[in-house]
């Protein structure tokens, strides 16, 4: 048995390099990489989106400027069709101020960096002053009981675990504090929540992100803010010394009725199987604190680059390739759900959808939602991607915006860049263009274009 | 045949996760990672080495401060032995000034960012003013012939090719301009050389690095300087408009006689096979423009971390584990050659040596110099490293400092981090501590510790 394994592995080792030198698909992929790294548009596009437009929360003027820009840029690519898809989106506005202080005695206070969580209500106009109870998780909250919670801020201070290699795993183990911490605490009588930022570093940036009150009645809703990791460490240390200290929070964020916005869509019609649609996309909206360069400006320009590179190489796809710049991933997913609903109503056949929404860092592979036969086929393409170091394929997970296309047949995929730095910037004021490395961004675009090329050539 | 492959691959897929859950070695490696990411010393060590000591070129006071620091820190780890190894090193000093101008007419000039190449002689005290001839490579230089070169600066302007995925490959395709460009040009009558910086980005940092005159007589030697990539683009554009422009260079760098310095060595004695030595190391010297955080402060603190983590976990190695902080990789390799020479004279048996000298970025695997049987054994350990995404093993290449240990038996290895950002910083003033990401640095240390652990457990 072992002997057989060695022979077969030897055969595979010998075979793969040969493939690289003689195969026409390998040559196309080499061309894709060369163009992406030398004549790509992704970096300059992102410069514009980040620096000329900036943060673009759903419902904001900037989000509409981004829609207009995306449509114009896609028009310039001479695609077969560019159009907008109507989407109604939530509108939440951060307002004019947000600040917080730890108060340890009369006239003795320290400012700490905070920001309102997306969807949160404001504090009363005079701000909110209350004692603080620190917890690690919902179990600890429940165990404390209402009487110890009532009238206080609940301070969720569970740090992202540093020892998980994939930082998204660390995120998913802690993000419940942010998304549903306020609703849980409100039901136990808390007056507000302060949530440790989802950030593996110790620094002074508060990280925003969506929170939901769920079915909590309006009058029970309480304000929710994120505190920077350094701020969280400080507050925790001070609480250890003095449980009776007060926290003061003032924020004037506000929810408005839904407003109209758009997904931006462009496509190249397939020459052989035009009814088989391949989607590549990211989300055009971003949080408002930074300029959303990694989340998800990177995914937007990488997705646009796929069609740009195909045009540049004069590649005529067999199947219809569609780029979708989704609106409203961050606080509603309305773009993704609307796109999937319309696709179903129009009887469209999506064979594959790929999303880039994990930052513009060096790509290491892809994750897939696929059945065993589909995954077997995907894995057969690894030799094409191995020379470019993007052959780490995993099963499970794709992207939020394409999730609504899930139907058991359509293969869904996500670009998987190196995750180590992502949460240094995610949803914070430092998610800006200077945190983007040009080559890393371009390598992601090239990896995506290569995968889409293979899907187009071979189908499922 | 295909059916067999599928069965075997299926078996491997099933087997690997089981290994992860039940295997004692896998548990040890998990512990290594946890400690490195939560209680490691690498980042704080590097903070000190970079910010309190700084750039540490061989022969400088800072290099000796680094030796003293390294020895003290190793002493604090309660190793079985810490000692210095005497090494004579070259001493080259940048001097007090280096600057350059493009002169297009009387009173019309523009400054461009330059730095002397390591080992270069000074210009005359009044500077050097001459016309410029631009070439891409030595073939172009030869083709031009002496009469077109004589009395001019040769401007080597071959950019690192952007379309190679491994940036070290791009480096090796261009670094000959820097290392031997001056000697070649001098033999053809040039008065100086200006070399495009080895940098894939367009920016204003000149990147230094070693150059050699070889057997060129002293009186024929000419000054050599690097120009920033933006400066190179500018000079090239201006030459396209006006071939008669002048370049002015002034630098007062100087070579001195060799001075004494040291390798810093610490070891934990093996409990079962103390005569089998496993080396892990990096180089303690750095260029002088930045503080050498990536090149190679990262490798130094990661190597020290291996022994720190073993101590922290109370791991008693079977074989002798030795950390070597090599002196003088950058401009002489005296530390590496001295260490290997002494090892041979002392009849020491080195079974394995691992170097980290490719930056403190997210590790993706290791390269090895090993015979087929040794490599087969190394590959059998991949399942242990796959969960940590450091299982990309390649044959060929290890590290400059450990190269002199090459004897056909000792297995040599190099940590292979993601290479995309390395040449943004390499040998330039921006190779500083702020360019280090804590997690990425720690992951490299954990990967190295895990590999050394496996070598110690299984030997060769």
B315 to chain A, closest Cα gap in Å:
20
d(C-alpha A245, C-alpha A238), whole Å: 8
d(C-alpha A167, C-alpha A198), whole Å: 10
Contact (CB<8Å) B362/A420: yes
d(C-alpha B357, C-alpha B371), whole Å: 23
- Measured between beta carbons, the chain A residues lying within 8 angstroms of B163 are 33-34, 37-38
CATH T-level fold of B95-252: Glucose Oxidase; domain 1 (3.50.30)
Please provide the average confidence, as pLDDT, over all residues in chain A.
95
- According to DSSP, the β-strands at B349-355 and A254-268 are unpaired
pLDDT band at A6 (very low <50, low <70, confident <90, very high): very low
Contact (CB<8Å) B389/A4: no
> What is the per-residue pLDDT for B269?
98
Residues 118-137 of A with CB under 8 A from B: none
How large a percentage of chain A has pLDDT more than 90? 95
Tell me if chain A has a CB within 8 Å of the CB of B418.
yes
CATH-assigned architecture of domain B24-92+257-458? 3-Layer(aba) Sandwich (3.40)
H-helix segments, B270-390 = 298-312, 334-345, 372-380, 382-385
- Measured between beta carbons, the chain B residues lying within 8 angstroms of A163 are 33-34, 37-38
- SS3 (DSSP) at B76: coil
Residue A95 CB contacts under 8 Å (≥ 6 apart), including other chains: A116, A122, A251, A252, A253, A254
Contact (CB<8Å) B37/A163: yes
Q: pLDDT tens for residues A17-42?
A: 445 556 999 999 999 999 999 999 99
Tell me if chain A has a CB within 8 Å of the CB of B162.
yes
Q: pLDDT tens for residues B88-111?
A: 999 999 999 999 999 999 989 999
- Measured between beta carbons, the chain A residues lying within 8 angstroms of B4 are 4, 8
Cα angle for residues A307, A310, A315 (degrees, 5° grid): 140
CATH-assigned architecture of domain A23-92+257-458? 3-Layer(aba) Sandwich (3.40)
> What is the per-residue pLDDT for B178?
98
d(C-alpha B295, C-alpha B331), whole Å: 13
- Measured between beta carbons, the chain A residues lying within 8 angstroms of B33 are 163, 165
Segment A263-275 shows an average pLDDT of 98
Q: pLDDT tens for residues A219-248?
A: 999 999 999 999 999 999 999 999 999 999
d(C-alpha B265, C-alpha B84), whole Å: 6
Q: pLDDT tens for residues A347-387?
A: 999 999 999 999 999 999 999 999 999 999 999 999 999 99
> What is the per-residue pLDDT for B14?
43
Number of neighbours of residue B93 by Cβ within 10 angstroms = 15
A120: which DSSP letter? P
- SS3 (DSSP) at A254: strand
d(C-alpha B141, C-alpha B133), whole Å: 9
B412: which DSSP letter? E
Task: Write down the domain spans for chain A.
Answer: 23-92+257-458, 95-252
Tell me if chain B has a CB within 8 Å of the CB of A420.
yes
Q: pLDDT tens for residues A61-107?
A: 999 999 999 999 999 999 999 999 999 999 999 999 999 999 999 98
- Measured between beta carbons, the chain B residues lying within 8 angstroms of A200 are 439
Least confident of A298-302, A309-313, B10-14, B84-88: B10-14
Give φ, ψ of B248 to 5 degrees: -120, 130
d(C-alpha A448, C-alpha A388), whole Å: 12
User: Rounded to the nearest 10 degrees, what angle do helices B2-22 and B24-39 cross at?
Assistant: 60
Nearest alpha-carbon partner for A268 in A348, A304, A343, A322: A322
- SS3 (DSSP) at A344: helix
The DSSP bridge partners found for residue A195 are: A156, A226
Asked whether this chain's domains B24-92+257-458 and B95-252 adopt the same fold, the reply is no
CA dihedral over B326, B329, B335, B338, signed as positive or negative: positive
C-beta separation of A285 from A53 below 8 A: no
Query: Among A26, A33, A309, A439, which would you mutate to test the B interface (most chain B Cβ atoms within 10 Å of its Cβ)?
Result: A439
Q: pLDDT tens for residues B313-329?
A: 999 999 999 999 999 99
DSSP code string of B80-96 = SEEEEEEEEEEEEE--S
> What is the per-residue pLDDT for B22?
64
Give φ, ψ of A138 to 5 degrees: -70, -30
- According to DSSP, the β-strands at A98-105 and A246-251 are antiparallel
In chain B, which residues have pLDDT < 70? Answer: 1-22
Tell me if chain A has a CB within 8 Å of the CB of B38.
yes
Contact (CB<8Å) A201/B162: no
Contact (CB<8Å) B162/A37: yes
């Amino acid at each position: 048995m072992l002997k057989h394994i060695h022979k077969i592995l030897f055969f595979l080792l010998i075979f793969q390099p040969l493939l690289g030198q003689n195969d026409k698909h390998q040559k196309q992929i080499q061309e894709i990489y060369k163009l992406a790294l030398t004549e790509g548009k992704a970096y300059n596009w992102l410069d514009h989106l980040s620096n000329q437009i900036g943060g673009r929360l759903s419902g904001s003027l900037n989000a509409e400027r981004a829609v207009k820009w995306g449509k114009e840029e896609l028009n310039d690519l001479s695609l077969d069709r560019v159009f907008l898809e109507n989407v109604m989106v939530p509108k939440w506005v951060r307002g004019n101020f947000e600040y917080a202080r730890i108060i340890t005695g009369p006239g003795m206070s320290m400012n700490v960096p905070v920001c309102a969580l997306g969807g949160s209500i404001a504090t009363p106009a005079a701000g909110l002053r209350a004692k603080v109870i620190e917890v690690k998780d919902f179990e600890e909250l429940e165990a404390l009981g209402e009487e110890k919670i009532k009238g206080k801020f609940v301070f969720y201070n569970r740090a992202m675990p540093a020892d998980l290699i994939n930082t998204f795993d660390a995120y998913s183990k802690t993000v419940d504090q942010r998304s549903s911490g306020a609703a849980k605490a409100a039901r136990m009588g808390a007056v507000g929540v302060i949530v440790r930022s989802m950030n593996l570093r110790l620094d002074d940036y508060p990280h925003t992100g969506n929170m939901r009150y769920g079915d909590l009645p309006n009058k029970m809703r309480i304000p929710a803010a994120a505190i920077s990791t350094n701020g969280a460490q400080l507050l925790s240390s001070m609480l250890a010394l003095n449980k009776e200290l007060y926290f003061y929070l003032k924020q004037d964020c506000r929810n408005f009725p839904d407003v109209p916005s758009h997904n931006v869509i462009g496509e190249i019609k397939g020459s052989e199987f035009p009814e088989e649609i391949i989607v590549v996309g990211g989300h055009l909206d971003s949080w408002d604190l930074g300029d959303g360069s990694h989340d998800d400006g990177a995914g937007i320009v990488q997705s646009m680059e796929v069609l740009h590179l195909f045009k540049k190489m004069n590649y005529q796809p067999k199947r219809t390739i569609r780029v979708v710049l989704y609106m409203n991933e961050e606080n509603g997913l309305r773009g993704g759900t609307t796109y999937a609903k319309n696709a179903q109503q129009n009887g469209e056949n999506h064979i594959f959808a790929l999303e880039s929404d994990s930052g513009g860092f060096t790509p290491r592979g892809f994750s897939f939602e696929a059945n065993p036969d589909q995954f077997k086929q995907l894995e057969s393409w690894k030799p094409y991607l191995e020379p470019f170091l993007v052959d780490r394929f995993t099963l499970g997970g794709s992207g939020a915006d394409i999730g609504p296309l899930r139907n058991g047949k359509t293969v869904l995929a996500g670009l998987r860049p190196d995750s180590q730095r992502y949460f240094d910037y995610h949803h914070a004021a430092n998610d800006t263009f200077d945190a983007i490395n040009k080559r890393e961004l371009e390598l992601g675009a090239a990896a995506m274009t290569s995968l889409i090329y293979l899907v187009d050539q071979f189908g499922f």
